[in-house]
Structure 1
């Protein structure tokens, strides 16, 4: 076994900024984060994440689907079948973990979760002969599915299909989410022939997490994918090398070691969306060392975005829309003034939204 290379926190964060292409200028037709999917949660979502990476692609070049953790993610449309294969559960245990409490009634009824997902997918595809709103799809599923697939929902005072199996079955059914719809509209992916038989390396979620959020461990990667650690270990790449960070043993893809050891110095300033991939790693103490700052940034409800200056997340931000004007509330965790470059990014956000920037507010 090779001797681990020692790295420090600054190297890791500078490496990630470069891997995420957050330091790019100009317009580009693609970005590496599309390999893992760009989460589309919130008013700006995936489109803003692409914008701050200089990525200019049309809606026709992307497709949106519920995938990892049941969250909506944007991917390259040309890779829809490969993505469906890449994000599918690896095993029965993996499927059971991903659907949470929905696995218990299925197990009691003797129905494997993987079989259940296929059954739900087949039913959903039949229902979605035309574009269908999520609520309509849910109601139709309730009429067609048996008891182990259904639960009582107190907030709605109604019976529904379990949420996670519902979401994870949609792409298996060849259904995508129509962009800009709320509530979401599901529609058939054109020319769908089912998930691909194999997954290319760049779409493998374990390799992608290692490349974009590395160096890492099976436990951290499992936390991102929402899979059992055992399954992640079984899919751990052979071409990794060990590194040591603050006494912790981690792995990085061998091809990325040089970039990790000698990452570029970055001075970019970016307003990261609340669910930007840069903020999605499970080693939050590394990304934001301060406990109070982590509490501010990763709230359970009403999560703000992060202010990235160079390789450091130095504060949080929230948009304040007033008609055609946009104000931005910025909290700098060290109590200092708004960093240079943030105003330019706020103006960029306003223009992206079709508004005019109207200054900072508390």
Structure 2
């Protein structure tokens, strides 16, 4: 019979899995780096690591690459060989789903999407012998690629390669992104070659279950942009069923005991794309539809105020010169002293001076 757990059990378990209740850690033991930390926004990845107790990581120990969902993610540099294999599409159908509308012209031309990714990666590898701005890279790549790889882009009023195909081919080409560059600058990763074996700690299905479980195959597939069939084919043998408020979900067997550990007491300011907020079980994390719509906006997404596992409001940075004000819009009572300490840390990470914490109004 499946173990019965509550929403509160799940939130407590996830906070601990995300290590949001700790004050110090190391690069090696920071679990979110196994799945990658999305670096969207000012100092996003650096702040996500800081709220997990990981400060002052030497820049050379981390690498920034386009991986899951075509988004920029930070990983341990020592893991990059394994990341190439771990984040690659599971199948031809998976590759087609991940490149979205870029798959249709390739299929019409009889070119498998996996072959197209390798073809584009080969061209990218030849082009980028030194740091290259994305726009220049795209222009030179467009000159080399055949029609099925190209699209007429109305916003740009130009023809260029499909964006997702471009992004997903970059790591296959052995290219990383220079942190802090806008527009992005790509550069070769010395000695990075394709590998086929996925290290156990980098397995993306296990990684999602470890950080966001209990979960369903559909939720994992949504996170990866992969077909549910492929996720089921890679489902861990040690995943066990649990009932979350009467609904079937799955967790890794080794994590099942953590579900009964109770709430995790912590207050954090999470960035808009923090790993904790990347769950595809949004209704469990934020049951109120209006609050969910406010938190996960398509444009201008705010950060989340996390209090003991619950999202208790949103926050935004207001910067004037080198002074930073943190504006908090609470959904319920929030611990002002703890938030003030978090705001001080945020200002330090961003290299600014905290002008104040404004709660409400």
TM-score, normalised to structure 1's length?
Answer: 0.96
Distance 1:338 1:239 in 2: 39
Residue 14 of structure 2: SS of its match in structure 1? Answer: helix
Alignment of 1:40-59 (within 5 A): 40-56=39-55, 57-59=57-59
Structure 1 position 261, deviation (Å) = 2.4
Q: Deviations over 1:1-52 (max 9, x none)?
A: xx10000011101101000111111353341000000000001211110111
Residue 223 of structure 2: SS of its match in structure 1? Answer: helix
Q: Deviations over 1:327-356 (max 9, x none)?
A: 01111123x466441111111111111111
Distance 2:169 2:276 in 1: 27
Distance 1:21 1:338 in 2: 20
Q: Deviations over 1:250-283 (max 9, x none)?
A: 11001111112225x4221110000001000011
What is the Cα-based RMSD across aligned positions, in Å? 1.2
**In structure 2, what is the equivalent of residue 110 of structure 1?**
110
Alignment of 1:43-122 (within 5 A): 43-56=42-55, 57-122=57-122
Q: Deviations over 1:151-193 (max 9, x none)?
A: 011111100100000000000000000111111110000112x
* Mapped pair 1:345 → 2:326: no
The 8 Å contact of residues 117 and 165 in structure 1, kept in 2 or not, is answered as yes
The 8 Å contact of residues 44 and 273 in structure 1, kept in 2 or not, is answered as no
**In structure 2, what is the equivalent of residue 205 of structure 1?**
204
**In structure 2, what is the equivalent of residue 267 of structure 1?**
265
Count of equivalent residues? 357
* Mapped pair 1:5 → 2:3: yes
Report the more deviating stretch, 56-65 or 72-81: 56-65
**In structure 1, what is the equivalent of residue 180 of structure 2?**
180
The 8 Å contact of residues 133 and 185 in structure 2, kept in 1 or not, is answered as yes
Q: Deviations over 1:129-155 (max 9, x none)?
A: 111000000000110000000001111
Distance 2:209 2:264 in 1: 21
Report the more deviating stretch, 231-240 or 19-28: 19-28
Residue 130 of structure 2: SS of its match in structure 1? Answer: coil
**In structure 1, what is the equivalent of residue 306 of structure 2?**
308
Q: Deviations over 1:97-146 (max 9, x none)?
A: 00001100001000000000000000001000111000000000110000
Q: Deviations over 1:212-261 (max 9, x none)?
A: 00001100000001100000000001111110012211110011111122
**In structure 1, what is the equivalent of residue 231 of structure 2?**
232
Residue 294 of structure 1: SS of its match in structure 2? Answer: helix
Structure 1 residues without counterparts, runs of 5 or longer: none
The 8 Å contact of residues 307 and 334 in structure 2, kept in 1 or not, is answered as no
Distance 1:215 1:352 in 2: 32
Q: Deviations over 1:288-314 (max 9, x none)?
A: 111111011000000000000111110
Residue 294 of structure 2: SS of its match in structure 1? Answer: helix
**In structure 1, what is the equivalent of residue 219 of structure 2?**
220
**In structure 1, what is the equivalent of residue 285 of structure 2?**
287
Structure 2 residues without counterparts, runs of 5 or longer: none
Distance 1:74 1:179 in 2: 9
The 8 Å contact of residues 318 and 324 in structure 2, kept in 1 or not, is answered as yes
TM-score, normalised to structure 2's length?
Answer: 0.97
Distance 2:334 2:130 in 1: 52
The 8 Å contact of residues 325 and 357 in structure 2, kept in 1 or not, is answered as yes
